[in-house]
Amino acid sequence: MIWKRHGRNGIVNRNSVVAEQNPVGWRFDNTYAQLPDVFFAPAKPVTVSSPRVVILNHRLAEELGLELNSISQEAAAALFAGQDLPSGSRPIAQAYAGHQFGNFTMLGDGRAILLGEHRSRSGQLVDIQLKGAGQTSYSRRGDGRAALGPMLREYIISEAMFALGIPTTRSLAVVTTGEPVYRETKLPGAILTRVAASHIRVGTFEYTAATQNETNLRILADYTIHRHYPELANSPSRYSDFLRAVVDRQAALIAQWLLVGFIHGVMNTDNMAISGESIDYGPCAFMNAYLPETVFSSIDRSGRYAYGNQPAIAQWNLTRFAETLIPLIAPEQEQAIAIATEILNEYPALFEQYRLAGMRTKLGLQNAETGDLELAQSLLRWMQKVGADFTKTFRDLSETALPIGDRYEDPDFQEWQSQWQHRLSRENRSNDVARAAMRGVNPAIIPRNHRVEEALAAVQDHNDLSVLQQLLAALASPYESRPDFERYQEAPSDDGGYRTFCGT
C-alpha cells in the first residue's frame, strides 16, 4: 500500500509518513470491503470514556509483525478500543444470517466491527475485528457492547485452543471501556480484538442466498475460494469442490474438539467459519467427567449442542451451507442436489476417520488395525460408567505408571488395559516411546472451568491480573507436566451445576 500526503511543500517522504502514522506496523489490504455493499455496512466504533488495557497478546502481535511495544499503554488502549483507528483500516460491520437453535434469522455484526484485513509477517491475510465496539446497522435492539468477563473468557479459551493445536480465531487484546454494560446486573464494559483467517460463515452464505441474487452469491463464493481454498480457483467443478473441502475441514475440526473434550455450546450456523477455524467462544467449556450428554450453556436447555451431538450438528450446518450453493454447483437443480447430497454423505465417514486417527494417537498407536475402534469405544464406555475425567484418564495412560486409585482397580478397566497392552505389543516401538508420543497429544492442562472462573473473578472483583496471567502461562504449554502448574491439572470435585453464558 502506498502512503502519500500532500501539504504546503508537496509530497512528504513516503517512509517517514509510514513511520509517523503507523508505528505499530499495520499493513491493511481490505479486500472484503471491495465486495458489493450488500455484504456489509460502514461502521464506527462507539466513543468510550476511559479505555484501559487489561491484556495484550505480545506473542500473537509478533507473529503478525506488529510492534505493540512501540506505543504507550494509553495509545494501545485507544487503539484497541477503536478510539484511534489505525491507518489503512476501513471499519465495517458484516452482514450474515444464521440458524440459531434451528431457527433461521437475518443477523449481521450487531456488536462487532471489522477494522480491516492485515497482512501478517508470513503474508497471510487476517481479519482484525473489535468485539463489543458499539452498535452497528445490524444491532437491532442490542447495545452493541460487551462485558469484561465474556471477553476475557474468549481470550483464555481461544489461546488455549491455539496451544492445543486446534484451528481457531485468536485474541490480540482486551481493553475496558470505563463504562458499564447492563445484563442481569451492572458489569464493566470491555472490547476484545479478535484475529481470524476471516469472519465468513455458513451464515454469510445463508444471508446472500436469502437475497436471491445469484450474481452476488457467485461473487461471495469466488472470493471465499480465492481467500481460503485458492487451489480450487481454476477447477471446472470449483463450487462442488469447495463444498467438499469445507466438509472435510469441518469434519477434521469437530473431531479435534471431541478429542480434547471441548464443547462449543452454541453451534449455530453463524458460528461455523468457512475457513475451518473455531470461532465465537461464548458459552463454551471443556468437559471433565466423560459424559456425551454434557451441556454447560445456560441457553441450551434441550441439549442440542451437547458434547456428543456436535458431529451431527456440524453435518446439519453443512447441509444448510450446501443448500446455498445449489444454484452454483450445476445448471439443473436436481443434478446440483444430487451432487451436494453425495458430498454431504461423505461427512460421517470423514469425521469417524479423523476421530479414530486421533484416538489411535491418544492411545499410542501408529499402525491401523480393525479392532482399534472397539478398543477406543470400550475405554470411553468404561469412563462413562465410572464418571472418569476425560483429560486426566488419557494423561494417566500416557505416564510410565498409572496413579494408584480405585477406578484403575476396576475389573472392567483391568480387562481393557490388558487388551490395550496386548495391542501396544504389536507396534514397532517400545512402550516408553509410545507413551512419550502420547504425552505429546494428551494434554496435562486444559482450561478447567473452575480455574477459568477463578481468573475471571480475580480480574473483575479485585482488579488482580496475576491469576489470569498464571493461568495463561500454564495453558500455553498444555502438554507439559510441570510442578509449578500442577494445580491446573486438577479436575474439580463436582461441576455438574456449572453454567456458561453468551454475554449478549
Catalytic residues: 270
The DSSP 8-state label assigned to residue 404 in this structure reads P
Residue type, 368: A
Cα–Cα distance for residue pair 14/459, rounded to 1 Å: 43
**Cβ within 8 Å of residue 433, ≥6 positions away:** none
Cα–Cα distance for residue pair 81/50, rounded to 1 Å: 9
Beta strands in 66-202 (DSSP E): 92-94, 97-100, 103-106, 112-119, 125-131, 146-147, 170-182, 186-196
Helix (H) or strand (E) holding 217: helix 214-228
44 phi, psi to nearest 5 deg: -140, 125
Cα–Cα distance for residue pair 296/53, rounded to 1 Å: 30
Residues paired with residue 168 on neighbouring β-strands, in sequence order:
278
Cα–Cα distance for residue pair 466/458, rounded to 1 Å: 8
With both helix axes pointing from N to C terminus, report the angle between 238-259 and 347-362 in degrees, rounded to the nearest 10.
40
Find how far residue 389's CA is from the centre of its chain. 23
Under 8 Å between Cβ of 277 and 197? yes
Beta strands in 44-169 (DSSP E): 52-56, 92-94, 97-100, 103-106, 112-119, 125-131, 146-147
Which of helix, strand or coil describes residue 38?
helix
Find how far residue 500's CA is from the centre of its chain. 16
Find how far residue 111's CA is from the centre of its chain. 18
- The CA-to-CA distance between both ends of the chain, in Å, stands at 37
The DSSP 8-state label assigned to residue 134 in this structure reads -
Find how far residue 361's CA is from the centre of its chain. 23
In this structure, what C-alpha cell is assigned to residue 79?
A: 487503539
Residue type, 390: F
Pure H helices in 306-346? 310-329, 333-344
Secondary structure (DSSP) of 229-249: -GGGTT-TTHHHHHHHHHHHH
Query: Could you tell me how many helices (H) and strands (E) the chain has, helices first?
Result: 16, 14
Cα–Cα distance for residue pair 125/196, rounded to 1 Å: 9
Cα–Cα distance for residue pair 423/416, rounded to 1 Å: 11
**Cβ within 8 Å of residue 444, ≥6 positions away:** 395, 478, 479, 480, 481, 485, 489
